A and B are shown apart, each in its own frame.
Chain A
Amino acid sequence: MVIKYQIKFVSLPHDGNGELLTVNIYDATATTGTPVQLTGSASPFSTSGSDDSDFYTPIRSQSGYIRFICKDESVISDIMPERATDRPVTLTDASGAVRWAGFLSGEQYSQPWEPTPYSLQLPVKGLLSTMAGVEFTQADGFTSVVSLMSTIAQYLPYTPRIIYPKSMAIDKVLVSNDNFREFLSKEERKDQNTENIYSADSIETVFEEFCKYFGVSAHEYHGDIYLIAHDATEYLCSDGRTVAPVTHDLLGLGIVGASNKKSFSKFYRYVRGEFDTGSDDDKAKTVMELNEFSEYLPVNNQSNEFIFYDAAEPLTCLIPNTGDHYTGRIGNDDYAFPKMLCGIIYRNGSASYYDPSSVIGIIFHGSYPYYNESGAHNVTGQRSSGGADMLQISTPLSANEIKKVFTIKSLQDIKITKSERSLINIQMSLRALGERYSKKPSGSSDDDDEKYAREGKIDNGGVYLSIKVGDLYLTEISTDKYSWSSTESYIMCPVSNGTPIFNYLRTDKDVKTSVFVEDPGILVSLPDSLRNKLVPIEVGLWSGICHPVKWSTKDSGLDIFGNPTLPGVLTDDKGNDFDATFIHLIVTNFKISIAYEGGTQTIGTDLDQNVYIVPNDNASTYKYDVSSTITTRRGIQHGTGLALNDDLSYCATTYDLDGCKRRAAMVAKNREMLTVAVENNTAIAPFDTIAWHGKIYSPLADNIDWHDNENELKLINID
């Protein structure tokens, strides 16, 4: 491979000194030759990215033009490639560093055919788009993205680097990921009708599938490939460097906080409706439930956090807006709403809520699917710029239903090691609002559409979180929910600002509320009985209308279950029923982590901010103090966690050998001066409480079978 032509020009003459750049046009088929210097046109080289407005397109390709003064017709036939990769093109600076790389394209070009020298413009294509014309020939299937880059490098005069999110664990995941490998394996690519002839996927196709699977967007930059995940905070380079996104913020998204790292939103961002399982004859499976995605989401316990390796394209609607999945109003006489879970994930400025009276339905800042003229929720979302990712879910409800919004389950069991006096911490920002729609009486004018669309109101309803570790359902239970008892065999608990509450939707028009603030989220202690066990961890979010007996509250004197039977099915003027009750959820910044003794700093937030603390980097100091000071009747036991009270005192929960929970309170002005005062040392009782943020939480409950109460709680599996 030698340089066949060169165009040298000076660009960006800032400070009075331009930068000498060189367009190198290679001949991949030659081994000897001297570069011929071409005179560049006024604008000798320009490139642009693909014009797709979606940041998260799996492949963001590049294309461009070289322009030079054509003085000799023969240069045209000489410079044009016969194959897609015959004429690699690089733009290099004076040091030889690659600023852009691609290939001269054999596509159509414009030639003025003038009798005097003219500016000739020839198209070039970037690395990735050119690979659309190169067959993927790794017969044994996709080995790794690094190997794929090596393949691409064969066509280039240099070896491009690949920059990828640190959380991607790029090789590790690939080795263990059967789904993806099988998808691209030799057998999978075999043409069923003509055995031994393999479908000819291009390298670009393979790369695109890779990006879809891992939820990244491939960008070309300075001749290298960047796999961009918008919520990644640290990138690694194939040359061993650590790349800070501050200097490679290709999407212009700014630096995201650690709280958004490995966010739940990413989990759904690329989810699509169809997956190739590679495990049965069907090849593909249409995923209709959110929780089914867990089958395809390898979750890796890395750095004490869950990492969701996600797949596919931005989710628009899991369920088609047609057919049996709809009920409700269509046109003037019928209602149409998605009966199934629908989720939209897109970037949104603030997920703030407003309700312009001039618009029918409810609109969120950004691109909330509003109630449109046809009566259907338009669930095809779009991304707006800035802000955090969010998952938007609508759950239609009938009377006293509780529906599963989603379930996240670790595919790898998490080992609760001895040293992990662990707390499971769940953070998210969640906004919920309820909607009821009534049927417009016959004879009403069209002007009444809005009125009747919004006439129905949510009387109650809520959002619930379930946490299951192994066979145990864990939660924090508020004393406000006084009906709870230790013998209840289900646990669902809403939490607001760290305080478990029963989050209900009021009857006024402004039926919205926020729960589960992102920080600190909720903190659930893990029982000592889980130590040294490998257990799956599952977190579920539920929404619905609560059971009048199982759920009640004394909050503010309101008996929100005074009218326990909330008809989710409305009745029109002819006595016909129809389902038109919804709870809408906006979920952002979802994160699950396990707080360890001596765990990572990211688990907690700043102690000095008096917000929340779990064992962190220097926890061992005071942890030692705690464990050596707390004395129960049966001796020193293991604390399961620390929490910071509002008065800067700490509390810890311990368990005795019988699994009875103990509570010890400690007071510290700072970490170094932590002292411990044991409380409740004599009153051993099961199901004691834990204090956190000045609130008293009841402990976990063991041996709970969720489905025992199925008849009473009416859990609705959506299928």
Chain B
Amino acid sequence: MKHQGKDLLILLNDVAIANSKSCDINMDCEVIETSSPDDGDTKHFIPGRKSWKVTTSYLVEADGTPIKSHLSVPGKVFTIKVKSRELSDDVMTGHAICTNCKITGTKGNLTQGSFTFQGTGALK
């Protein structure tokens, strides 16, 4: 059975984001260029430091949390859990700083919001 998108959960301080539409988890690793005794026409690298980032989008409820509360989130530090709804032991926890909140209103559509969280420290 394939893992369903709806089963990927992002929890902020153990609370799932309401009306979540989608989420992305990016895990990056820097590289350090080196020289090589083997060849000179291709670059060689060794691994450097890692970093991770989470983005999530959701629908804004008209009678829910005020818009201004959404926009006050950036700058706050959260404990983030990335887990699978189906696999209870597939959980990673880390701390992240909300670096962006974006509210988009379009005529004929529901208001949509998104958060970007910059991970700090390990996600494990």
**Chains A and B belong together in one complex:** yes
Evaluate contact between A69 and B32: CB separation under 8 angstroms.
Answer: yes
Contact with A along B37-70 (1 / 0, CB 8 A): 1111101001011000000000000000000000
Interface flag for A442 (CB, 8 Å): no
> For B43, what are the chain A residues with a Cβ–Cβ distance below 8 Å?
42
A13, A40, A115, A116: the one contacting B34 at CB < 8 Å is A40
Evaluate contact between A13 and B33: CB separation under 8 angstroms.
Answer: no
For window 1-49 of chain A, which residues contact chain B by CB distance below 8 Å?
7-13, 16, 18-20, 39-44
Evaluate contact between B37 and A42: CB separation under 8 angstroms.
Answer: no
Q: How many residues of B contact A (CB 8 A)?
A: 14
Bound Cα distance A7, B34 (Å): 11
Interface flag for A119 (CB, 8 Å): yes
Shortest CB distance A672–B (Å): 61
> For A11, what are the chain B residues with a Cβ–Cβ distance below 8 Å?
40
Interface flag for B13 (CB, 8 Å): no
Evaluate contact between B34 and A10: CB separation under 8 angstroms.
Answer: no
> For A12, what are the chain B residues with a Cβ–Cβ distance below 8 Å?
40
Shortest CB distance B48–A (Å): 5
> For A8, what are the chain B residues with a Cβ–Cβ distance below 8 Å?
37
Contact with A along B2-46 (1 / 0, CB 8 A): 000000000000000000000000000000111111111101001
> For A20, what are the chain B residues with a Cβ–Cβ distance below 8 Å?
37
B32, B38, B39, B40: the one contacting A117 at CB < 8 Å is B32
Bound Cα distance A299, B26 (Å): 79
**Secondary structure call for the B interface:** loop
Contact with B along A119-132 (1 / 0, CB 8 A): 10000000000000
Shortest CB distance B92–A (Å): 21
> For B33, what are the chain A residues with a Cβ–Cβ distance below 8 Å?
41-42
Interface flag for A364 (CB, 8 Å): no
> For B39, what are the chain A residues with a Cβ–Cβ distance below 8 Å?
10, 13, 18
Evaluate contact between A13 and B32: CB separation under 8 angstroms.
Answer: no
For window 86-135 of chain A, which residues contact chain B by CB distance below 8 Å?
115-119
Bound Cα distance A18, B43 (Å): 13
Evaluate contact between B35 and A13: CB separation under 8 angstroms.
Answer: no
Evaluate contact between B34 and A42: CB separation under 8 angstroms.
Answer: yes
Bound Cα distance A118, B34 (Å): 10
Evaluate contact between B46 and A117: CB separation under 8 angstroms.
Answer: yes
A10, A19, A116, A117: the one contacting B35 at CB < 8 Å is A10
For window 25-78 of chain A, which residues contact chain B by CB distance below 8 Å?
39-44, 69
Name the residue among B35, B46, B48 with the largest chain A CB count within 10 angstroms: B35
Evaluate contact between A119 and B32: CB separation under 8 angstroms.
Answer: yes
Bound Cα distance A191, B47 (Å): 59
Question: Nearest chain-B residue to A8 (Cβ)?
Answer: B37
Given known A-B contacts A10-B35, A39-B34, A41-B33, A117 and B41 have beta carbons under 8 A apart: no
Question: Nearest chain-A residue to B32 (Cβ)?
Answer: A117
Question: Nearest chain-A residue to B38 (Cβ)?
Answer: A10
> For B32, what are the chain A residues with a Cβ–Cβ distance below 8 Å?
69, 116-119
Evaluate contact between B34 and A18: CB separation under 8 angstroms.
Answer: no
A18, A69, A116: the one contacting B40 at CB < 8 Å is A18
> For B36, what are the chain A residues with a Cβ–Cβ distance below 8 Å?
9-10, 40
> For B41, what are the chain A residues with a Cβ–Cβ distance below 8 Å?
13, 16, 18
Evaluate contact between A13 and B37: CB separation under 8 angstroms.
Answer: no
Contact with B along A342-377 (1 / 0, CB 8 A): 000000000000000000000000000000000000
Evaluate contact between A69 and B38: CB separation under 8 angstroms.
Answer: no
Bound Cα distance A119, B46 (Å): 11
Bound Cα distance A7, B35 (Å): 9
Bound Cα distance A115, B33 (Å): 16
Shortest CB distance B74–A (Å): 28
Bound Cα distance A352, B53 (Å): 70
Name the residue among B39, B40, B49 with the largest chain A CB count within 10 angstroms: B40
Bound Cα distance A16, B42 (Å): 11
Given known A-B contacts A18-B40, A18-B41, A44 and B35 have beta carbons under 8 A apart: yes
Evaluate contact between B46 and A9: CB separation under 8 angstroms.
Answer: no
> For A69, what are the chain B residues with a Cβ–Cβ distance below 8 Å?
32, 34, 46
Evaluate contact between B46 and A10: CB separation under 8 angstroms.
Answer: no
Given known A-B contacts A69-B32, A117-B32, A10 and B37 have beta carbons under 8 A apart: yes
Question: Nearest chain-A residue to B45 (Cβ)?
Answer: A42
Evaluate contact between A10 and B40: CB separation under 8 angstroms.
Answer: yes
Shortest CB distance A88–B (Å): 21
Bound Cα distance A115, B49 (Å): 9
> For B35, what are the chain A residues with a Cβ–Cβ distance below 8 Å?
7, 9-10, 39-44
Shortest CB distance A29–B (Å): 27
Question: Nearest chain-B residue to A115 (Cβ)?
Answer: B49
Ordered nearest first, which 3 A-B pairs have the shortest CB separation? A10-B40, A18-B40, A8-B37
CB<8 Å pairs between A and B, sample of 6:
A16-B41, A18-B39, A18-B40, A39-B34, A42-B43, A69-B46
User: B residues touching A (Cβ–Cβ < 8 Å)?
Assistant: 32-41, 43, 46, 48-49
